[in-house]
C-alpha cells in the first residue's frame, strides 16, 4: 500500500516524538511491504513565528491532500502574549474544522506493567483496562446557539443534534467495537434531555445494522462513577460532545500515565488526524527525554483506522507492550531512582521488536 502522510510536528517536544513515530512507521512499511511519503506542515506556534498565523491556507491544503495527518503537539508559554484568536491551539481547531473531523477516538489502556501508576485500587484494574471513548466533535452545546439577555444577567447555550449527526458517529462506534470486543455503551442523560432521547432512538436504529455488537445505555452520572468503580465493564463508550470531553479526560486519568495515550479524529471516509493527548512540554524539548509512546501508538491507530492495516497496527502495539514488559521506561513512567531511556532509545527499543 502507498500512504501519503502529512506530518505536523508542531512545538515543544512535538518534533522529538513525531520523529520516533516516523521511524516506527518506516519499520512497519519495510517489514510489511508498504511505501510511505511524508509532507511536513507548520502549524501552531512555529507557524505564528513564520507566518503570523497558527495555520495557513497552504498548510491546510497540504493536509487535505494527504491520506492522514500525524500531529505532535502545539503551543507553549512563548505564545501566551498573542491574541486569543491567534493562539497556537487555534491550529487544532482549524485542522479539525477544515478537514471535517467529527469523530474523536480516545483509547484508555492500563498496561499491567504500569498498573501501579493508576490511582485506582489494584483489585479494580486487575487484568488490565482497555476501553475506547468515541466522542462527537462538531455538534452539541459547544456549537449551538448561545447568548445573553440584554441586561447581561442571564445566558443560554443550546444543545442541538440532528439524527444524521448521531447516525454517522454511531456507525464509527459500532465499527470500532467490531475490531475490539463487540460492545457499545451509549452515555447520555435521557431522563432529562430531549437530545439524549433522540440519541437513544437513533443509535438503537443503527444497532440493527450491527447485530454482532452488544448495545447498552448508561446515564452520564452513573458512567462517570463506573469508570472508577469498574472500568473493565466498558469496551466502547459512545457519547455527545460535552459528555465526551469530560469522560475522555476522566478515562485518561485512570491510566495514571498521560504520556502513553493516543487519539484519533476522523471524518466520514477513512481520513483522520492522529495525535497524543499530552501537551508540548517545551521545558524538555530537544533534551531526548520526552516519552514518544503516545505518538507511536497514535501512528498505530492511523494504520488501523485510516488504512485498515490491523496486523500492522497490532505489530506496533505488541512491540510497545513487549518493550514495557522488558522494563523499557522513559523518565516520566520510571519508578523513583530507576533507570530510564531517552526518547530515541525508547523508539529504537520499540522498533526492534516489530515483527
In DSSP notation, 51-64 reads HSSSS-HHHHHHHH
State the DSSP H helix or E strand holding residue 263, giving kind and residue range, or none if neither. Answer: strand 262-266
Number of domains in the chain: 2
CATH number at residue 174: 3.40.718.10
Average pLDDT, the chain: 95
Q: 190 in a domain, yes or no?
A: yes
Own/partner long-range contacts of 339-347 (Cβ < 8 Å, ≥24 apart): 342/288, 342/289, 343/13, 343/16, 343/17, 343/20, 343/288, 343/289, 343/290, 343/291, 343/292, 344/19, 344/20, 344/288, 346/20, 346/291, 346/292, 346/293, 347/19, 347/20, 347/23, 347/24, 347/292, 347/296
Angle, vertex CA 333, rays to CA 309 and CA 131, nearest 5: 45
Q: Coil, strand or helix: which one is 336?
A: coil
Q: Give the residue ranges of DSSP H helices in 179-240.
A: 194-207, 220-229
Domain boundaries, position 82: 1-101+268-355
**223 plus 179 within the same structural domain:** yes
- Give 129's strand partners: 110
pTM of the model: 0.91
**245 plus 131 within the same structural domain:** yes
- pLDDT, residue 221, reads 97
**135 plus 234 within the same structural domain:** yes
Catalytic residues: 142, 189, 221, 245, 249
- pLDDT, residue 3, reads 98
CA gap 329, 259 in Å, rounded: 11
**123 plus 251 within the same structural domain:** yes
Q: 12 in a domain, yes or no?
A: yes
Choose the final residue of a domain: 222, 255, 288: 255
Give the residue from 156, 125, 103 showing the smallest Cα distance to 263: 103
**pLDDT beneath 70: ranges in the chain:** none
**250 plus 323 within the same structural domain:** no
- pLDDT, residue 125, reads 87
Amino acid at each position: 500500500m502507498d500512504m501519503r502522510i502529512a506530518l505536523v510536528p508542531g512545538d515543544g517536544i512535538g518534533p522529538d516524538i513525531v520523529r520516533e513515530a516516523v521511524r516506527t512507521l518506516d519499520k512497519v512499511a519495510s517489514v510489511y511491504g508498504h511505501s510511505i511519503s511524508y509532507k511536513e506542515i507548520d502549524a501552531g506556534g512555529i507557524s505564528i513565528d513564520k507566518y503570523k498565523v497558527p495555520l495557513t491556507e497552504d498548510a491546510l491544503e497540504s493536509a487535505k491532500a494527504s491520506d492522514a495527518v500525524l500531529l505532535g503537539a502545539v503551543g507553549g508559554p512563548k505564545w501566551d502574549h498573542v491574541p486569543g484568536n491567534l493562539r497556537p491551539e487555534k491550529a487544532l481547531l482549524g485542522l479539525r474544522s477544515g478537514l471535517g473531523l467529527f469523530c474523536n477516538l480516545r483509547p484508555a489502556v492500563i498496561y499491567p506493567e504500569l498498573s501501579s501508576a493508576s490511582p485506582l485500587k489494584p483489585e479494580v484494574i486487575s487484568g488490565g483496562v482497555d476501553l475506547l471513548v468515541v466522542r462527537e466533535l462538531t455538534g452539541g452545546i459547544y456549537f449551538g446557539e448561545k447568548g445573553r439577555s440584554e441586561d447581561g444577567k442571564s445566558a443560554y447555550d443550546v444543545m442541538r443534534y440532528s439524527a444524521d449527526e448521531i447516525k454517522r458517529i454511531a456507525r464509527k462506534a459500532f465499527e470500532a467495537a467490531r475490531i475490539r470486543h463487540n460492545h457499545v455503551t451509549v452515555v447520555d442523560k435521557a431522563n432529562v434531555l430531549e437530545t439524549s432521547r433522540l440519541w437513544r432512538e437513533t443509535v438503537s436504529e443503527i444497532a440493527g445494522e450491527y447485530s454482532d455488537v452488544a448495545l447498552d445505555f448508561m446515564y452520564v452520572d452513573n458512567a462517570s462513577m463506573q469508570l472508577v468503580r469498574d472500568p473493565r465493564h466498558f469496551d466502547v463508550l459512545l457519547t455527545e460532545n460535552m459528555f465526551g470531553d469530560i469522560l475522555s479526560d476522566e478515562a485518561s486519568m485512570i491510566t495514571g500515565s498521560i504520556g502513553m495515550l493516543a487519539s484519533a479524529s476522523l471524518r466520514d471516509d477513512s481520513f483522520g488526524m492522529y495525535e497524543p493527548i499530552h501537551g508540548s512540554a517545551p521545558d524538555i524539548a530537544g533534551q531526548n527525554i520526552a516519552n514518544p509512546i503516545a505518538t507511536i501508538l497514535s501512528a498505530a491507530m492511523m494504520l488501523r483506522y485510516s488504512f485498515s492495516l490491523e496486523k500492522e497496527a497490532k505489530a506496533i502495539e505488541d512491540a510497545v507492550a513487549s518493550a514495557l514488559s522488558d522494563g523499557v521506561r522513559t523518565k516520566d513512567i520510571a519508578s523513583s531512582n530507576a533507570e530510564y531511556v531517552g526518547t530515541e532509545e525508547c523508539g529504537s527499543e520499540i522498533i526492534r521488536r516489530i515483527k
